[in-house]
Structure 1
C-alpha cells in the first residue's frame, strides 16, 4: 500500500509516476551521470516545474498551491520509485523550510524574495550539516569553515545556510548569488549533485539574515521527505525482486517457489510497508503539536530510512549476480537509499532523540476529532457514568480469562459497548469512526475497554456462519462474560499445519463423537466452551472434510491438563477428547465447512494479536529508565527506549493506515499478516534489548523482565508463527509460485 490513501493523493501519485516514466527513464539518467554530479538540471526538471510539482507546498502568491507535507510525501515516494534525478528533493526541502518562517523585512525581505524565486522554478539547497562558524562583525556577521556534504548544493540557484555561534544559537542566512566556494563531492548517489560549502570570512549583511526555523518543524520536513523517498526506493526494489524470482528458473523450478526466497521477499514487503507507514505518519504530524512532530520525525528517520537500505540490498541478493552488475539498476536504488539515510544523520542519534521524546509523551494515533459525533459521545458517556455507579461484583480470574459476570459488564453488553462493531442486538454496528469515539470515551474515564479474549475470535465466526439459535445461545452470554471460551485447534503432530489435524468426529444419533488430542490451548482450564476442529471425512482432501464444533468443556470424556511452560507458569493446556459427545446443535455450518470457518476465526485472531505488544514493550523500558534499576548508561537505555518506541509507533501507524485504507475503499488484506509478522519481530527484539540493559539483575526474577523474555514463544507461536505468516504474504500477496 503506497503512502497515498485517499482518491486525491492516489491520483496525484499516478500522475507523477506517469510523468517520471515518460521523461526520466533510467537509461536516460545513466547517460547524464557526469553532468548531474555538477548540478546540471535534468530534462525532467522543466516538466516538473510546468506541472507545479516543485512548488505545490508554496503559498499561492508565490506560484504554489498551498499544499501540505503529505502532498510532498506522495510526490517524493513516486520520484524515489522512479529514481528521478536532479534537484527536486533539495529544492522542495529548502522551500519548505522557508514556508515555516513567514515573510521578513516587508515585500523585499529575503524570505519573500526566495519564495518568489522558487515559485518561478529556481533550484535550492539548505546547508544544515555543521562545520560553519559565525562571528559578529559590526552590524553583520562573518562566516568561516567548511560544511558537511549537502544534497543539491552544486548548481543551486538559492542557498540558505545554518552557521554556529558562540552563544549556541544558530545563525541562518541567505547566501549571496555567487554562493561562495562549492567543492563538488563524489556522491554515492550518481543521480544527484552533492558538495561542501567552503567560506573564508564571508560577510553576511543584516539584510540577508533569516529567522531561526523551529527545529522540530525542520526535522519533520527533512525526515518526512527522506522517508517518503526511501519508501519509493523500497517499493521499486520489492517489485523488481518479486518479478525476477517469479520468472527465474533454477534446478528446474522458479526461484520464487523456494521457501527461503519467499520468506526473504515477504520480509521485503514487511519493511516496505513499514517505510510507507512511517513516512505517512510523519507527514500527518505537520499541523500537530510540537511533541507529536518530534516523535514522528524521529520515527521516520529510525524506521523508513534503514528499511530503504535493507530492502534495496535484499533486492540485489535476490537478483543474484545479475543484480550486482553495473548495468542493472538495482545498485542505483541502493545508492539512493544509502545517500538519503546518510544525510539524515546517524541512526543511533535518532534512536536517542526518540527515547528522549518518549519519556515526555506518546504519539497520538486517534483519527477522529475530539468533538466528532456529539450525540454518540453523550450517549456513551451517560452509560459509562451509570456503570461507574454499579457494584464491581465480577469474579476475577488468576489467569488470562476475563472477569466473570457482574452488573457492570451486563450493562455494557446491554448498551452494545462490549463489541460495538457487532450488529444489533449484540453491538451497535459501529464503523471505524464510531468505534474510535467509543474508545475515546473509555479512555477519558480511564476505563479499560472490555474484552471476551478468545471470544474476540469465536463470536465473529458465529455471527457470520452460526445459526440464529447458536447466536442467541452463545453471543449474548459471552458478551456478558457469563461464558469464557478456549480454542481447540492445534495438535501435537500438526502445530501450525491445521489441515494436518487427526482429531476425528464420528456421526452418531443426535450428534457427533470426538476423539483426539489438542495442545497449547490458552485458558482451556478456565473455559466453559471451546471451538474445536475435527475431521468428519477422513477420505476427503486435507483442507476438506474438517468440521467446526462447539464443545462444552465439562463434557464427559474431556480431560484438560495444564502445561507448565519454561516460565514456570501454566497458562496453556493439552486437552484429551475420549469419545466426547457433541450434539448436532453444536456443529457450526455444514459438515466439511470447518476450514472455511477456521479462516474467519484465525483472521480475527491475527488482527487482534497484531495490534498489541505484550513483551519488551516501551513501557517496560520507560519504567526502567525512571527507576534507574539497570546496569547500562542512561544514554544507552534511551537508545533502547527509542528503538522500542519506534517499533510500537510503526505498528500503530500500520494499524491506523489499515483502518483508514478500508474507509477509503482500498484493498488492505495484506495488512493483517504484515502486522502479525512485525508485532512478533518487535516483541522479540524489544524483549531481548530490555534484557541487555539489566546486567546482574537479569540473572534474578526481580522485575520480571527476564521471565518476560522467556515467555516470548507465546507470541512467536500463537496465531501462526512468523514463518507461517511469511508464507501467507509470499503466496497470497506477492503471488509467488508454490
Structure 2
C-alpha cells in the first residue's frame, strides 16, 4: 500500500534483500525478549547476518572493503530496517562510518577506522552538545559529557564532534575508541537500541585523529538516514493500521468503513509518502553542491522526522486500547520515531536553518542533465529566442487566467510548445525527458511557459475521445489562446458528488437541449466555451446516463451570474441553462458514457493543480524575511520560511518521484489524489503560518498577503475538496471498505 523508497530495479532488489534478512534474522516477535540486553549494548544475532551480506559497509569505498554504493542505496536499507524495526547497532554504526567517509583527507587514522568498520566494528556518532576541545601543542584535550547518543553503549569506535574552547560556534571532529572515555548508559526512549553519554575528563587526542570533515556532506548523511528510517516507520504504521481497521468490526461493520477512520488513514498515507519523498530527496543530493545539500538535509529533517512520530501515534490511536499497551508492537515503533526525531536536534533550529538556506538558494529538481539532448535544446532555444523578441502578450488581471491571443503564445503554439507532450500537430510528442529540457530552456530565458488552464484539462480528453473534427475545431484555437474555456461541472445540489448532477440534456432535432444550473464555474463570464456534464438518461444508475458536451458560452439561454468571494473579486459564477441548444457535433464520446471522460478530465485537473502552489507560498515568506530586521521576530519569520520551504520541497520531490514512476512505465493510479491533498495542505498550512508573522500588516490588503489568504478556499475546494480526495485515497489506494 505504501510506496517504498526504492525506484529502480536494483534498489528494489536491495530493499527486498534487506527486508528478507530482517524477516529471517530479526523478526519483531523476538525483540521484546531482548530489550534488557539491547539497552546494555549487546548486539543481537542479526548483526552477524548484516555483516555477512555487507549491508553495514554498503556505502564505504571499495578500497576500504566497502560496497562502493551511494547514500541512496544505504537509505533503501535504512527504510526497510525501519519498517522491520531491526534492533541493535546498524543505524548508529552507519551514521558514524558514513560521517567518517566524508573526511577530505585519507589519513592513516581514517583508513584504519574505515577498515575496522568494514571488518564488523560497531560505532556511534557522538554529535550532541556537551564536549569541548582545547588545543594542546600537537594535539587536543577533550573534556565534558556529551548529550544522549544512539548506540554508544556497546560501540567499539566513535566519531565525535566537539565545540572549540573559547569559540562554541566552531566545531572539530575526531575519531577515537570508545574505551578512551567513559560510556554512561541512559534509559533510552527507543527500547531496541542502546543510548548513552560519553564522558571525557581531559582526554588527549593526537592531531592525527583530527578529521577534516565536510560538514554539509556529513549532515546530509545523518539527515537522510534518520529520515529514511522515519519513512520506514511511517510506512509500517500505515500498513498496520489499515490491516487492523479493515478486519476489526464495530457496530456490525468494519471499522475501516467509517469515514472518520478512512480520512485518518488516508492522511497517514499522505504524511508517510511525503516523508519518503523528503528522505529520498536528501539521499539524491549526495553529489550536489553544498547549498543544495544544506537545503535537502534540513528539509528532510523538518519533514520526515515529525511525520514518523505523527503517523506512528495515529497508528496507535487507530489500534485503540491495544495499541497503547505492550500487547502490540506499535509502541516500539512509536518510541523509535520519537527517539530519532530527538537525536536530530531541536525542530525550530532546523526550521530556522532551512529558512536561512532558502534565502540564498532554491532546490533543483532536474530530471535530465543540463547538457543532455543538445539538438533539441538548440531547436527549442531558437524558437524561444524568437518569442522573447516579441512584445509580451497582454494579460487580464484574472489570477490564473490568460488574455486571448497574443503573438508569443501563437508562435509557441505554432512550434508545438504550448503543450509539447501532445502528438503533432498540436505538440511535438515530447516525453518526460524532452519536456524537462523544454522547461529548462524556458527558465534560462526567464520565460513563463504558457497555460491554457481549463484547456489543459479538456484537451487530453479530446485527444483520447474526441472526433477529428472536434480536434481540428478546438485544439489549435485553445493552444493559441484564442479560445478560453470554463468548466460546467458542479451544481448546487451535487457539489463534490458530481455523479448526482441533475442538469438534463434532452434530444431535439440536430442536437440536444440543456436545462439546469451550474455553480463555481471559474471565469464563466469571460469564457468562450464550456465543458458541460448533463444527464441524458434519467433512469440510468447514478454514474451512468451522463454525457459530455462542449457548449458555446454565447448561446441563447445561458445566463451567467458572478459570485463575489471573500477577496472581493468575482471569479466564480453561477450558470443558468434554459433550453440551450448544443449541436450533435459538440457531444464528445458516446451518449450516456460521459463519466469515463469526466474522470479523465478530473484526473488531468487534479494532476495540474497538485503540482502548483499559489497560496501562502514560501516566496511570499522569503520576501517578508528579506525586509525583516534582526531580532526574535526575524527568527520567527525564518522558521515559517523553513517550514514552508520544506513543505514545498516535499511536494516537488513527490512530483519528481511520480514522474520517474511514470517514466518507468508503472501506473500511479489514484496517487494523484495524494499529491492533490499534499498540495492543499501545504497551501493551507503555509497561508495560515504566513498570517501569524505579518503583524499589523495583516490588517490591510496593501501588500497582497491578506488577500492571498482570503483566496485560500479556492485551492482547498477546487478540483475536489481535501475530504473527497481522502475518500479516494482510502478506498482506491488503501483498499478500505466502502
Q: TM-score range by the shorter chain?
A: over 0.9
Deviations 1:615-645 (A, max 9, x none): 1001111111112399971000000010111
* Cα deviation, residue 170, structure 1: 2.3
Cα deviation, residue 400, structure 1: 4.0
> Is 1:443 matched up with 2:433?
no
CA distance in 2, matches of 1:214, 1:391: 48
Are residues 1:654 and 2:654 paired?
yes
Counterpart of 1:170? 171
Match of 1:77 in 2: 79
What is the DSSP-based 3-state SS (H/G/I as helix, E as strand, rest coil) of the residue aligned with 1:173? strand
1:396 is displaced (CA, Å) by 4.5
Q: CA deviation at 1:401?
A: 2.8
User: Would the aligned equivalents of 2:422 and 2:428 in 1 still touch at CA under 8 Å?
Assistant: yes
CA distance in 2, matches of 1:150, 1:312: 22
Cα deviation, residue 218, structure 1: 1.6
**CA distance in structure 1 between the aligned counterparts of 2:263 and 2:4, rounded to whole angstroms:** 21
Q: Deviation digits for residues 484-515 of structure 1, max 9, x if unmatched?
A: 10000001111111011110000011000000
CA distance in 2, matches of 1:389, 1:702: 34
Distance between the aligned counterparts of 1:207 and 1:628, measured in 2? 45
Q: Given the superposition, is the C-alpha separation of residues 283 and 399 from structure 1 closer, same or farther in structure 2, using an over 3 Å criterion?
A: closer
Q: Tell me if 1:33 matches 2:32.
A: no
Q: Corresponding residue for 2:195?
A: 194
Paired with 1:393 and 1:198, the residues of 2 have a C-alpha distance of 68
Counterpart secondary structure, 2:180: coil
Q: 2:670 & 2:215 partners in 1: Cα distance?
A: 37
What is the CA–CA distance in structure 1 between the aligned matches of 2:693 and 2:478, rounded to whole Å?
A: 42
Equivalent residue number for residue 144 of structure 1:
143
1:183 corresponds to: 184
Q: Which segment drifts farther, 393-402 or 641-650?
A: 393-402
What is residue 121 of structure 1 aligned with on the other side?
120
Residue 10 of structure 1: aligned partner:
12
- Superposed, 1:67-466 pairs within 5 Å as 67-105=69-107, 109-168=108-167, 169-176=170-177, 178-211=179-212, 213-392=213-392, 396=396, 398=398, 400-466=400-466
Q: Indicate if the aligned counterparts of 1:651 and 1:679 stay in contact, CA closer than 8 A.
A: yes
Deviations 1:243-298 (A, max 9, x none): 00000000000000000000000001000100100000000000000000000000
Aligned partner of 2:674 in structure 1 is: 674
Cα–Cα, structure 1 residues 670 and 309, in superposed 2: closer, same or farther, change >3 Å?
Answer: farther
TM-score by length of 2: 0.98
Give the alignment's Cα RMSD to 1 decimal.
1.4
2: CA distance, partners of 1:57 / 1:14: 18
Change in 2 beyond 3 A, CA 1:71/1:356: same
- Please report how far the alpha carbon of residue 179 of structure 1 lies from its aligned counterpart in structure 2 after TM superposition: 3.3
Q: Take 2:556 and 2:631, find their aligned partners in 1: how far apart are those partners?
A: 54
Report the CA distance between 1:38 and its aligned residue.
1.2
Distance 1:736 1:581 in 2: 43
Q: Can you list the C-alpha shifts for 1:10-44, whole angstroms capped at 9, x where unaligned?
A: 11101110110011011211111111111111101
Instruction: Report if aligned partners of 1:394, 1:407 keep a CA contact under 8 Å in 2.
Output: no
Cα pair 1:632 1:695 within 8 Å, conserved? no
Contact conserved, 2:393 with 2:409, CA < 8 A, in 1?
no
Between the aligned partners of 1:656 and 1:296, the Cα distance in structure 2 is: 14
The 1:119/1:629 distance shift into structure 2, 3 A limit, reads closer
Partner in structure 1 of residue 52 of structure 2: 50
For residues 406 and 614 of structure 1, the distance between their equivalents in structure 2, rounded to whole angstroms, comes to: 24
Contact 1:123 1:158 in 2 (8 A): yes
Please give the secondary structure, in 2, of the residue aligned with 1:160.
strand
Instruction: Tell me the residue number matched to 2:584.
Output: 584
Q: Distance in 2 between matches of 1:128 and 1:34?
A: 25
- Conserved in 2, the CA contact under 8 Å of 1:159 and 1:174? yes
Measure, in 2, the Cα distance between the counterparts of 1:361 and 1:77. Answer: 28
- TM-superposed CA distance for 1:715, in Å, is 0.6
- Give the whole-Å Cα distance in 1 for the aligned partners of 2:635 and 2:542: 54
Contact 2:302–2:350 (CA under 8 A) maintained in structure 1? yes
**Residues 467 and 183 of structure 1: CA distance in aligned 2, closer, same or farther (over 3 Å):** same
Residues 715 and 193 (structure 1), Cα distance of their counterparts in 2 relative to 1, 3 Å cut? same
Question: Could you tell me how far apart the structure 1 residues matched to 2:399 and 2:724 are?
Answer: 28
CA distance in 2, matches of 1:592, 1:460: 20
Residues 388 and 447 of structure 2 are in contact (CA less than 8 Å); yes or no, is this contact kept in structure 1? no
Q: 1:194 to 1:405 in 2, by over 3 A?
A: same
Question: Any conservation in 2 of the 1:277–1:650 contact (CA below 8 Å)?
Answer: yes
Deviation at residue 393 of structure 1 after TM alignment: 5.8
CA distance in 2, matches of 1:720, 1:387: 36
In structure 2, the CA distance between the partners of 1:575 and 1:232, relative to structure 1 (3 Å rule), is same
Distance in 2, matches of 1:126 and 1:538, equals: 69
TM-score where L is the length of structure 1: 0.98
Conservation of the 8 A alpha-carbon contact between 2:401 and 2:453: yes
SS at match of 1:221: helix
CA distance in 2, matches of 1:79, 1:379: 48
Q: Is the 8 A contact 1:630 1:695 kept in 2?
A: no
Q: Give the secondary structure class of the aligned counterpart of 2:674.
A: helix
Q: 1:61-86 deviations in whole A, cap 9, x for unaligned?
A: 22111110001100000000000001
Partners of 1:324 and 1:249 lie apart in 2 by 19
Aligned match of 1:518:
518
SS of alignment partner, residue 633 of structure 1: helix
What is the 5 A alignment of 1:476-515?
Answer: 476-515=476-515
Q: CA deviation at 1:386?
A: 1.8
SS of residue matched to 1:447: coil
Mapped partners of 1:496, 1:474: distance in 2: 28
Cα distance change, pair 632–531 in 1 and its aligned pair in 2 (3 A): farther
Task: Say if 2:671 and 2:729, in contact at 8 Å, map to a contact too.
Answer: no
Contact 1:400 1:571 in 2 (8 A): no
